[in-house]
């Protein structure tokens, strides 16, 4: 999927992705069992490598929602990955 998105972008274009389901967010590790669906749990390092393998320059950032009523949103953070297609 990331390779296809990469090909669609113009040089300098960016793709933004956010996930709460990653290994550092321990509160979401049970989601696959709770929802009874297959989900693949990856680390921040793995997510970065997926983007790099597709050709992107990668930046990551964690964002916490300190005012949210849900504990996992307050105490754990959403992982945002920004992939930029290099200028030629």
Q: Look up the pTM and report it.
A: 0.81
Cα separation, 29 vs 42, in Å, equals 10
Instruction: Specify the DSSP class assigned to residue 11.
Output: T
- Summarised one tens digit per residue, pLDDT across range 16-73 is 999 988 988 888 878 888 889 888 899 999 999 999 999 999 999 987 777 877 766 6
> Would you call 40 exposed, middle or buried from its count of C-beta atoms within 10 A (0-12, 13-18, 19+)?
exposed
Residues 6+ apart with CB under 8 A from 15: 2, 5, 6, 9, 56, 82, 83
Domain boundaries, the chain: 2-84
What is the per-residue pLDDT across 57-83, written as a single tens digit (0 to 9) for each?
Answer: 999 998 777 787 776 666 667 899 999
């Amino acid at each position: 999927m990331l390779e296809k998105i990469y090909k669609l972008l113009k040089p300098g274009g960016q793709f933004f992705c956010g996930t709460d389901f990653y290994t550092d967010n321990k509160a979401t590790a049970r989601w696959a069992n709770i929802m009874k669906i297959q989900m693949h749990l990856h680390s921040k390092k793995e997510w970065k490598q997926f983007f790099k393998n597709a050709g992107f320059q990668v930046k990551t950032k964690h964002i916490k929602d300190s005012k949210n009523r849900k504990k996992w949103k307050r105490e754990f953070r959403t992982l945002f990955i920004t992939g930029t297609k290099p200028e030629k």
